[in-house]
Amino acid sequence: MKIKDVVKLILLYLSILASIMVNGCSEILNIDEVPGVKERGGDFIINLKDNTGFMQKLFGKGSVPNAIVRLKSNSLGTEYSFVSDSSGNVRITGLISDSYFISIKRGMLPQELEAIFGAYTKDYVLVNKETKAIELSAGGVSEYEIRLDTISKSALVISEIYASGPTGAGLYYHDKYIEIYNQSEYIQYLDSMIIAIVYSSSYLGLNYRDDPEYIHSKSIWIFPGNGTDHPILPGQFIVCAEDAINHTMNAPQSVDLSNSDFEFYKDDAPDIDNPSIPNMIRIYQPSGNDWLIGGEKGAIIIARLGVNSLIPYSEEFLIPYKNVIDGVEYMADPTKINEKTLNPIIDAGTTGGIQFYTGKSMERKSVFVNNMNELADENNSSLDFIIITKPTPNYHSTWIPTEHGK
């Protein structure tokens, strides 16, 4: 090849490279640039319909006005809030195409309930029980109908899960805990209530998310007591610690759990027991030296049923969904909803996104209702939980502590 031909090839190569750097490959290859699906905006209408007959009785039509509609982008985590109009419609403009978690709540005013029932009945709320996520896609469906049903608020909720482990202490993981909160107006009792870890195994290919009736578990513990021995007051937090000790002695960036309310103590293993803290009762956990929840992913429920009502299944026990009070799932990547292990009936979403040994914790969001602090409870951890930089046992990160937390 002659020198002048080599020079021509080099110049052609440099010309193509410069064009790619300036214009991108699509122009060189004569391909039209197509924006990613998440870059496309669209206009949508969500129409809310009432399944209960309340709206028909009040307004002569089945649409639901004045409902709060919350959307959260699964991919980006961006949240939006809307209020339905007098026709029960929410008109949305310019949202990017994505899968969105949706939470709808329409509280019933005392005068409305009096008109329906003849007397005030508290704690009736219209919510979206069935539809927990929708796909908003430009060029796709532009109008959605979502039907609402009534629920009564859960008195007890899981308010915090600390599972990641502290920073600067190697592989120290003994400071994990679960916190429970009473957000009702009445004393509740923890006696014989179950805390269970939802079982799945990616190694064995076992995932019971789609079981229509039951939670599967290989770690089931209950609170001690005979019915009224362990009250939890309105606005009170209860901490159940893996080990109820001052963990800052071993890990300076950890937390003091020596004043926890309960402790998981496995008496057939080299576990730590704080004799001044009541022990949870182990019903079933055949392996491990301690109660142990996953650092980056896992799912936990609280439930009420007699121990004799637990159903044996292979090497697990089954807990009916109808007995579950609350449940929370967390994942290393909370956007991967298709990998959930907890049925959407219990938790439609997932929190998490926390790496091992970062000291971060998962805390239920605070909301202000009727001049009081409450915790969000949409049965959707994608909407209900936030990540905080350090654990907050027995209190909420945004509240000023009072006698009963309210």
Domain boundary residue among 100, 131, 151?
151
Amino acid 396: pLDDT: 92
* Count of the separate structural domains present in the chain: 2
Whether residue 317 is contained in a domain is answered as yes
Amino acid 122: pLDDT: 55
Residue 176 and residue 268 share a domain: yes
Query: Residue 194: is it exposed, middle or buried by C-beta count within 10 angstroms (0-12/13-18/19+)?
Result: buried
Q: In whole angstroms, give the CA distance from residue 262 to residue 242.
A: 9
Angle ∠(200,206,211) on CA atoms, nearest 5: 85
Q: In whole angstroms, give the CA distance from residue 376 to residue 369.
A: 10
List, as one string, the DSSP characters of 248-315: GGT-TTS-B-TT-SEE---TTSS----TTSPBPEEEE--S-SS----SS-EEEEEE---GGG-EEETT
Residue 201 and residue 127 share a domain: no
Residue 168 and residue 143 share a domain: no
Residue 196 and residue 64 share a domain: no
Closest CA to 230 of 259, 189, 268, 265: 189
Residue 323 and residue 241 share a domain: yes
**45 SS3 class:** strand
Domain boundary residue among 99, 131, 151?
151
Residue 292 and residue 202 share a domain: yes
CA 9 → CA 1, 12, 297, distances in Å? 11, 5, 55
Whether residue 366 is contained in a domain is answered as yes
Amino acid 271: pLDDT: 87
Report whether 195 contacts 300 (CB < 8 A).
yes
Q: Which residues pair with 195 in a beta bridge?
A: 221, 302
Closest CA to 385 of 327, 343, 319: 327
Residue 366 and residue 293 share a domain: yes
Amino acid 124: pLDDT: 76
Whether residue 14 is contained in a domain is answered as no
Amino acid 289: pLDDT: 84
Residue 44 and residue 178 share a domain: no
Whether residue 132 is contained in a domain is answered as yes
**Which parts of the chain sit beneath pLDDT 70?**
1-39, 119-123, 152, 368-372, 400-406
Domain boundary residue among 87, 120, 151?
151
Q: DSSP letter for 365, please.
A: P
Whether residue 113 is contained in a domain is answered as yes
pTM metric for this prediction: 0.77
CA 389 → CA 185, 246, 250, 287, 386, distances in Å? 30, 19, 20, 31, 10
Residue 194 and residue 70 share a domain: no
Closest CA to 244 of 289, 267, 275, 221: 275
Residue 356 and residue 335 share a domain: yes
CA 335 → CA 70, 178, 341, 381, distances in Å? 17, 23, 14, 12
Where residue 111 sits, what CATH number does that domain have? Answer: 2.60.40.10
Summarize pLDDT for 223-265 with one digit per residue, the tens: 999 999 999 999 999 999 999 999 999 999 999 999 999 999 9
Amino acid 291: pLDDT: 93
Amino acid 4: pLDDT: 52
Q: In whole angstroms, give the CA distance from residue 397 to residue 362.
A: 11
Amino acid 262: pLDDT: 98
Q: Which residues pair with 372 in a beta bridge?
A: 369
Residue 367 and residue 299 share a domain: yes
Amino acid 118: pLDDT: 80
Whether residue 242 is contained in a domain is answered as yes
Amino acid 76: pLDDT: 87
Whether residue 402 is contained in a domain is answered as no
Whether residue 20 is contained in a domain is answered as no
Amino acid 75: pLDDT: 87
Amino acid 345: pLDDT: 87
Q: In whole angstroms, give the CA distance from residue 69 to residue 46.
A: 9
Query: Domain range holding 265?
Result: 156-388
Q: In whole angstroms, give the CA distance from residue 361 to residue 352.
A: 9
Residue 92 and residue 220 share a domain: no
